[in-house]
Chain A
Amino acid sequence: MSAIRVLVVEDDPAIAGQICHGLMARGYATDLAASGEAAFKACTGGQFDAIVLDRMLPDTHGVELLGRLREAGPVPAVLMLSALGSVEDRVEGLVAGADDYLAKPFDMSELSARLVAICRRGGRKTEDKAEDNSELGGDLTVGRLRLESASHRATFGTEAIELNRKQFSLMAYLMRHADKIVTRAMLIENVWAYSFDPATNIVESNLSRLRTRLQVLGCDPIETRRGEGYVLRADLCK
């Protein structure tokens, strides 16, 4: 399998260097564009799986560039970067069609995890493992692990446990992203929908509670990756 190709659109050389270096170290193939014009050319000319797009560019605005790219043709997954961390800016970025939004400063592992999560190619990898009918009000399945959305029950073989609402949402998100790293910030945004950063580690506490519950079930597929995030391993659900 060839590496995921990412176009990094960032005018600050130091930050652009860090991103490219960090992504290459994680096995991505990266191209750099320092302006909106360069990004437009690069994007219409080459094939990318994802774009890391800075919101403020010297010649244009990230939101405008995204609009132009959409007019020109299909656009790969877009992760918007910004020095503006307010709720409004995040919403504006997502409304403009970005798949995710990340405020500066950020961890490289955070950026990488989010790229994997939004990447079309990355998304297909786990399709055979996680059966996701949750959008239709159905159940989620990874291996023998099953999450029933109507009853908020998790079952593994013949065992069953009931989860509270938060544990259920957490479990569902992890199952939907099985075998991919999900970061603490991704969970805060998507499971809790908090637009702020809690002072305590609510993710860790709730995950450890969830894992205690899962141990009752006899299936504990969640792994903590130090400094990176959490992974629900599909192979541990067999």
Chain B
Amino acid sequence: MQVSTALPATPPRIGRLAVQVGLAFALAMGVAGGIAFLAARYQLMQEADDALAHESRKLILKGYPNDSATLAKRVIDRRAQKILASRGHIVYGPDGRLLADGLDIPPLPDGYAETIYRDHSRKWHQGRALSLRLPDGGRLVIVEHSEVDATMREMMLIGLIALIVVGGLAGVTAAWVLTRQIAQRLDLSVGAADAIAQGDLSRRISLDGLDGIFATQAGSLNHMLDRMEQMVRSQRQFASHLAHDLRTPLTRLRGLLQAEAEAHAADRPLLDKAERECRSIIAIFDSLLRLSEIEAGRRPTAMAPLALDEAILDVAETMEPVIADAGSRLALAPLPPATVLADAGLVQQLLVNLLDNIALHTPAGTQASVALAVERHEATITIADNGPGILPPERERVVRPYESGGATRRDKSMGSGLGLAIAQAIMRFHNGALELVDNRPGLMVRLRFPVSS
């Protein structure tokens, strides 16, 4: 059984989200880059094709003979007129003989096509070609050198990689910034939720710096907390009012029983018994009242630095004769100094309650011990005995109000059954934890107090 302790204060974590968003960004950038590249390339191809069509209209003239021999002549003339560095012309005769120019080019189908060719420089180039069949069965091929296209192809890989890398980085950064912002806003609610888990129902999420869905969410959480606080308060008030209101009739009852006991000595045993019962009802109400007082955290002013070692020593001094009278023994381990922020009165009650339990619920001859250990962020008091212990399924039960150890109880009229529930409430009040552990044999109660640095 363990009472939830304060959550460790970790900075808001973003987790895998940034990487995932980064990858998605990179993929999107890659696809967008690819599409842009293809579109640009298609545009360039169109332009090249337009140029080829334009050139073909300059060579194949309507109303004039357009046989291969004439075209060969026209090509040679045109080439003589101006230098068309980026364009080549080839004219084949009907028999396939080369009539004009001499680009080295593989056979091409009719119409526009991608091709490679080799000119006088003996270097292969990439280009766009238009192949036209002539009326005499010859063929005219116009080749447009497209350096841009070639460069683009080379650049495509580098461009895509660059896009993906930049996209990925931008994605991770954007996601990181966004999630950080979200985490910071959510952290406000986490802080409030932690405080509430520790019993501070008065905490609310500040709406400063929140907008949109975050403000709405914080607002509705705050509203929920208002309702919860109200409900818890009214429940506690009910419990303490019940305890208060029943005190007056119990006072009368007890007074009557005492008066009767004094007047009728013969009936004393019965009246004494009734009075004892009355006393135990009062004890339960007192404990209930105390429990609600602790749970409501109504004594925050009592919090002060407390030397746990001295508090233990003080209670052990008081409880040692009690445990000795029960036929058992209480040993105290050497206590290291430990200071915690605590309510001294509550710590006293905590230790007395737990040592009371040993005196009441373990058989004579039990060996009990109290020890204190100090770590960096925690001081742990261990109260152990070698008595009959508590079975694991029972351990959770006994810290709930109105349930106690049962089998080993010697006197049903002793204790309110709220001892461990009060002990647990006290630990919760101190943001600590109460753990019931098997001492093999017996029970070990560990009380873990946070040590503020």
Contacts and interface: CB of A to CB of B under 8 A. Distances in A.
A136 interface: no
B187 interface: no
A206 interface: yes
A143 interface: no
B254 interface: yes
Q: Which interface residue of B254, B262, B326 has the most chain A CB atoms within 10 A?
A: B254
A206 B247 CA distance: 30
A88 B298 contact: yes
Nearest to B348: A194
B299 interface: yes
Interface stretch (A68-76, A175-183, A195-203): A195-203
A14 B416 CA distance: 27
Nearest to A164: B317
In which size bucket is the chain A interface? 35 or more
Q: Which interface residue of B251, B259, B345 has the most chain A CB atoms within 10 A?
A: B251
A93 B286 CA distance: 18
B259 A18 contact: yes
Contacts of B298: 88
A194 B278 CA distance: 22
B322 A205 contact: yes
B356 interface: yes
A16 to B, nearest CB: 10
Contacts of A206: 318, 321-322
Nearest to A81: B251
Interface residues of B, number: 47
Interface in B206-252: 240, 243-245, 247-248, 250-252
A22 B262 CA distance: 11
Contact of A83 (B247, B254, B283, B352): B247
Contact of B318 (A15, A22, A166): A166
B293 A83 contact: no
A172 to B, nearest CB: 15
A205 B247 contact: no
Contact of A85 (B286, B318, B322, B345): B286
Interface in A99-145: 103-108
13 contacts: A12-B252, A15-B252, A22-B259, A84-B247, A87-B299, A105-B253, A166-B314, A166-B318, A193-B345, A194-B352, A195-B349, A199-B416, A206-B321
Given A83-B244, A87-B293, A206-B321, 7 more contacts: A87-B299, A104-B248, A105-B251, A194-B349, A197-B286, A199-B415, A208-B325
